[in-house]
Structure 1
Amino acid sequence: MELARDIVAGPPGTAPLLRAGVKLSARYAELLPKAGVGSVWIEDDLGEAIEIAEPLSVETRAKVHKATGAALTAAGAALRSGSGMPAPIVESLNDVAGAMVDDLLDCPDAALALDDLSSFDDYTHRHSVQVTVLGLLIARRAWTVDGWTDFRGRLRHDRLEERMRKLGLGLLVHDVGKLAVPPEILNKPGRLTGEEMEVMKTHAHAGVELLRPADLSPIAISVVRDHHERIDGSGYPEGLHGAQVQEFPRIAAVADVYDAVTSERVYKPAAPPHVGVHVIRDGTGANFCPSIVRHFRAVVMPYPVGHEIKLPDGRTAVVSSVDIHVPDVPTVRVMGAAGVEEFSVDMTAGAERVAAL
């Protein structure tokens, strides 16, 4: 197989481990996961003319990597000293949130690479950025299609960029309080005990306290404090329900859970995108706001374009396109006896049901 994109396992700007065009081998397949690379893009007949867009430019990715890494380091130091997060660090994150918004306002709606952040340092670092990208994409669609409601109850369609910047900053720091949770609890491979769960729940308020000196806007702080609240009242730290959970945390909750399910951790492998989508879908109305889920499902496909999937009949295929109105019926390509075959397939079927195109 021929590598379609450079593989970068260090900070943006560092030399790639492998460059596009390299012929891959079994040896690479063995070594790349050890370097933190879980998947690669390849060039072959099945992928011909499939275009996958990156939501962030190379320049923005470099800014994000530097600023979020510095923020995590500063947050750790602030915890040890008992002080809050320095305001200049948070201001740099605000600038980064603006750069991310600028990129995401221009990116296409479909065929996005949402899981290609292997160069970020660790789970907390990568998760913060991934949740920010996904949350902003959900917000962009929700506020463009439905508008947003201001504090006077007026429906508006203006000031989207300003509103997305505030959300982006809150998403970037949403999990900063987890630095206060002991690693043996944070990375425990099994189910947490009741006592351990109570410790875990403290990270929401810990994050708010860390950020207090930086004077973030109340709606950005609501993301940090309330992204584990659920509209049926089952969340934490306050057990808010219904309208008590504001729109920003509702968006954050969906993005946070999806990324947690589909990310690899020290104690679990990454679930494929369709599993993450089903977790969100199944929690609609109880854990997650139905309108936010509706927009999430138009942004995140269970079978993303360019990804390799296993068909109901056992064959391996590559997704070539998907309709957001019927996301569980992607168009796929397989290598048949006469060459590349393309057809739609119902991935919800117990047995293969295909319609030739």
Structure 2
Amino acid sequence: MTDDDPDTDAPTSPFELVGQEAQMAILQALLAADATGEGTGVAFSDLKRRAGIDDTGRFNYHLGELVGTLVTETDDGYRLSKFGRRVLRPMATGYYDPDIAVDDLPVEGSCPICGGAVRVELAEAVLRVVCERDHVVDAGLVASPGLVVDHDSASATEALALLTTHAVELGTNGVCPTCHAPVDGRVERLRTEGVAGRLPVVDDLGDGGASDPDGGAVPETQSDDRSRYYVYRAPCDTCGNLFVTPVGGCVATDPRVISLYATQGVDLRRSSPWRHPFRRGGTAELVSREPFRVCLPVGRDLDGPSLYLTLDRDGDVRGRYRVSGSLADDRDE
């Protein structure tokens, strides 16, 4: 076992730190030292002073509880272990702080519901994108609040897009974006009855009663595009993360889709999902129940022909054709 390996026999786990003020004070002092480049170690007496613990016996006891898991002892003193850094650094960004305040930040793009300007706001410790009329465009961005602090609109927009693209690529390829455990996913139809003033989001799936695995009743004509809202859902049994993305997320990094947008100077990896209809959802149509197939138009926001992709229940592309084609041109590959 190296000096950075967690000691499974140590009595203190991250969850046991709740209510342990002395141990949290020690960890905060080491985290601050780590942030200022003092990663080689802080001497016993100096760390005791920084933690604000006067009683030497009490300090020694709580420090001993941390060594072997979150803290490593070195020749120079004490420092956070690699495991400790991984656990505590997100806390320093405000990721787990329910009361952190972040000013709203305007970002590029417009609301797909009303066309208004959009901004990132922090609500219940979750970053979300809303417009000037408070339509919710994206209800749960994969990012820490620190992402929008000290960023301008353009850099924050690009960073959010990159992080979202990475998370969606993981989730649609069988990897939980939160804990990296394997997940199984499938394309489902998301009912949108009663959804007003926002695009359908993960909360509409609830605990399984709001999605229709069999596609639901599909009328001959549908005047509301949101009633054709198909999503790819891959809940994680390990960490409980309920991963869900509009079905367009399944092809967001497909080479054919990337190439289509690149020919017109658009880098999809750095472009906000809410700027592209196929990423927002509501445009896929059920074309077959058995085998299950949905048809997704891609590139309607570009000048030139659109690409139509047919996806199966697993979110894999089974056929493709250009705008000049017809449904009869669809074929399994």
TM-score when normalising by structure 1:
0.23
Bigger relative CO (Cα 8 Å, ≥ 6 apart): 1
TM-score when normalising by structure 2:
0.24
User: Whose radius of gyration is greater, 1 or 2?
Assistant: 2
Structure with the larger strand share: 2
